[in-house]
């Protein structure tokens, strides 16, 4: 019994030792994993910044699209991923449509990318100067240095499509308007506004029992400021026409649908039509005598250098209804030159100054309306090789005459 007790004690101790070894706990281990970054280095070239607008005059106008482009290079050893262009704009010019953030593609080490940023002038665009900073944002804060840039803007210049003249005549040269005799309503449409008008149409509405001998809708297309277009509308009053007068409503429209208008022109049955004294009646029911008169030409227009000792003249006076003078400006400072107009009272002028070598004769300076005469400064045009100055003299009864000067700097 004593031996059995000793044997039991031995096995219990052995089991206890084995259990201690099986249920032992291993010593904890730790690992340190760090992300290794190979950085990109982004460099933007200020001299590569270009501003390209629709009309190519380097200015953003209302309703115009433009692109700002520049070059960014990655001179680092790592790929530039997750990049965005950030535009920061200072100044109070409103009416700019653009995305503040714009994602761009990755730039591999040693490579460069040409970035284009679209920007648009809305109808609410103001006139001024936009100052901006262009920044390439990199997710790890490795942004490029800001690129400063600025450009000018011009608010919307309204076109205005007007019906200046409406004259009745007969096709056979007779001096009396009668039924069953073909006749014409001769119209002059002009853009008297400050910007190009597009998609211009002129529609003529004729009364019952008056047949149109031509189409009733005329597609004029585009008219630049001061430009006019002639329309001849043929018609015939039938024997069934029982009114004393024939009235036509003429309506002008353009792309915006806001800057046209309408007039009513009327001619009486058996009304005498004298070739030199054609009668036109508008919607205000007052007859206007059109005596084939013209707006007097520009009699005193000068381009002078008032700073010269002898008050030097370069252009002096105009002669004809539409006078085109070409004058070569050779090796002198055009910044001091002024335009001087001296005319009779109650006369006003529209003035347009354009780049003569651009495809669409883009404006060099903002157009001026209702200039009353005097001195008009021609500063800031010396950088243009050819400048076209268009002057429209506006007289009473809707008449006008044009004068154009082409200044070529050689």
- The domain spanning residue 262 has which CATH number? 2.60.40.10
Does one domain contain both 166 and 131?
no
Residue 18 lies in a domain: no
Which residue, among 180, 123, 111, has the nearest Cα to 154 in the 3D structure? Answer: 123
Question: Averaged over 81-91, what is the pLDDT?
Answer: 88
Residue 267 lies in a domain: yes
- Number of domains into which the chain is organized: 3
For residue 2, give the 3-state DSSP assignment.
Answer: helix
Q: Flag the least confident range among 105-109, 245-249, 388-392.
A: 388-392
Residue 282 has pLDDT above 50, yes or no: no
Separation CA 129–CA 153 (nearest Å): 6
What domain range is 369 assigned to?
A: 301-409
Instruction: Please give the mean pLDDT across all residues of the chain.
Output: 76
Residue 191: partners with Cβ closer than 8 Å, 6 or more residues away: 159, 160, 161, 162, 197, 200, 223, 224, 225, 226, 227, 228
Residue 218 lies in a domain: yes
Q: Flag the least confident range among 7-11, 83-87, 107-111, 367-371.
A: 7-11
Tell me the per-residue pLDDT of 66-75, one tens digit each, with 9 for 90 and over.
999 999 999 9
pLDDT given at position 371: 77
Q: Flag the least confident range among 43-47, 131-135, 206-210.
A: 43-47
Q: Cα separations (Å) of 256 from 155, 199, 202?
A: 15, 9, 14
State how far Cα 376 lies from the chain centre: 24
Residue 34 lies in a domain: no
Tell me the per-residue pLDDT of 319-365, one tens digit each, with 9 for 90 and over.
433 344 444 444 445 555 677 777 666 677 777 777 766 655 566 67
pLDDT given at position 352: 75
Q: What angle do CA 189, 194, 197 make, to 5 degrees?
A: 50
Tell me the per-residue pLDDT of 168-206, one tens digit each, with 9 for 90 and over.
988 777 788 999 888 999 898 999 888 888 999 999 999
Does one domain contain both 174 and 247?
yes
Which residue, among 297, 366, 349, 361, has the nearest Cα to 157 in the 3D structure? Answer: 366
Separation CA 54–CA 66 (nearest Å): 6
Does one domain contain both 128 and 168?
no
| pTM > 0.95: yes or no | no
Residue 26 lies in a domain: no
- The domain spanning residue 354 has which CATH number? 2.60.40
């Amino acid at each position: 019994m004593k031996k059995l007790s000793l044997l039991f004690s031995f096995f219990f101790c052995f089991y206890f030792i084995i259990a201690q070894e099986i249920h032992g706990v291993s010593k904890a281990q730790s690992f340190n994993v760090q992300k290794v970054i190979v950085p990109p280095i982004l460099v933007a070239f200020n001299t590569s910044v270009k501003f390209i607008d629709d009309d190519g005059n380097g200015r953003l106008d209302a309703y115009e699209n433009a692109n700002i482009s520049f070059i960014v290079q990655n001179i680092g050893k790592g790929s530039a991923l997750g990049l965005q262009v950030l535009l920061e704009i200072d100044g109070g010019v409103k009416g700019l449509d653009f995305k503040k953030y714009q994602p761009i593609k990755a730039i591999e080490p040693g490579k460069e990318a040409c970035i284009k940023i679209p920007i648009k002038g809305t109808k609410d665009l103001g006139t001024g100067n936009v100052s901006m900073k262009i920044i390439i944002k990199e997710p790890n804060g490795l942004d490029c240095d800001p690129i400063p840039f600025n450009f000018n803007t011009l608010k919307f210049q309204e076109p205005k499509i007007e019906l200046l003249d409406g004259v009745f005549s007969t096709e056979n040269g007779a001096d009396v308007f009668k039924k069953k005799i073909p006749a014409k309503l001769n119209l002059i449409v002009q853009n008297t506004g400050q910007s190009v008008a597009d998609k211009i149409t002129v529609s003529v509405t004729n009364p019952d029992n008056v047949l149109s001998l031509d189409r009733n809708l005329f597609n004029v297309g585009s008219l630049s400021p001061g430009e006019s277009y002639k329309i001849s509308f043929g018609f015939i009053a039938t024997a069934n026409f029982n009114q004393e007068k024939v009235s036509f409503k003429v309506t002008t429209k353009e792309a915006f649908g806001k800057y046209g208008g309408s007039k009513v022109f009327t001619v009486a049955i058996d009304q005498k039509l004298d070739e030199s004294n054609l009668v036109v009646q508008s919607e205000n029911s007052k007859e206007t005598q059109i005596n084939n008169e013209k707006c007097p030409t520009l009699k005193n227009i000068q381009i002078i250098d008032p700073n010269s000792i002898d008050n030097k003249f370069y252009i002096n006076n105009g002669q004809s209804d539409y006078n085109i003078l070409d004058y070569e400006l050779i090796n002198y400072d055009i910044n001091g030159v002024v335009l001087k107009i001296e005319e009779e009272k109650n006369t006003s002028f529209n003035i347009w100054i354009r780049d003569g070598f651009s495809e669409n004769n883009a404006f060099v300076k903002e157009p001026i309306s209702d200039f009353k005469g005097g001195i008009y400064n021609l500063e800031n045009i010396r950088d243009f090789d050819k400048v076209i100055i268009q002057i429209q003299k506006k007289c009473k009864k809707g008449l006008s005459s044009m004068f154009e000067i082409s200044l070529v700097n050689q």
